[in-house]
Amino acid sequence: MRELALQVCAGLGIPAEKVQVEQSEAEGALQVTLRLPFESLQRLDGREHRVAKAVRLVLSTAAAAQGKRFELVAQAND
């Protein structure tokens, strides 16, 4: 899932070296946390959150194929 999150960020033009991906699992739910620079976070969020919704859809579909629930958390680096 980490690699897929990095590929999605690369597709949005966010360099992989600026993205930190943390993955944790609890009670059958997979949580992926993306830490990005603020400018990249705005790009991920998109207009009316459409980009973020699409990213969540792609990643949650991949998690569902593994039989897991999914949660995406995006945070800005300080």
CA 39, 41, 44, 48 torsion: positive or negative?
negative
In the predicted structure, residue 1 carries a pLDDT above the cut 90: no
* Model confidence pLDDT, tens digit, residues 43-76: 888 888 898 899 999 999 999 998 989 999 999 9
Domains with residue ranges and CATH for the chain: 2-76 (3.30.300.20)
Q: Which two tokens stand for residue 15?
A: 């360099």
For residue 22, what pLDDT band results from cuts at 50, 70 and 90?
very high
* Model confidence pLDDT, tens digit, residues 28-47: 789 999 999 999 898 888 88
> How far apart are alpha carbons 70 and 67 in whole angstroms?
10
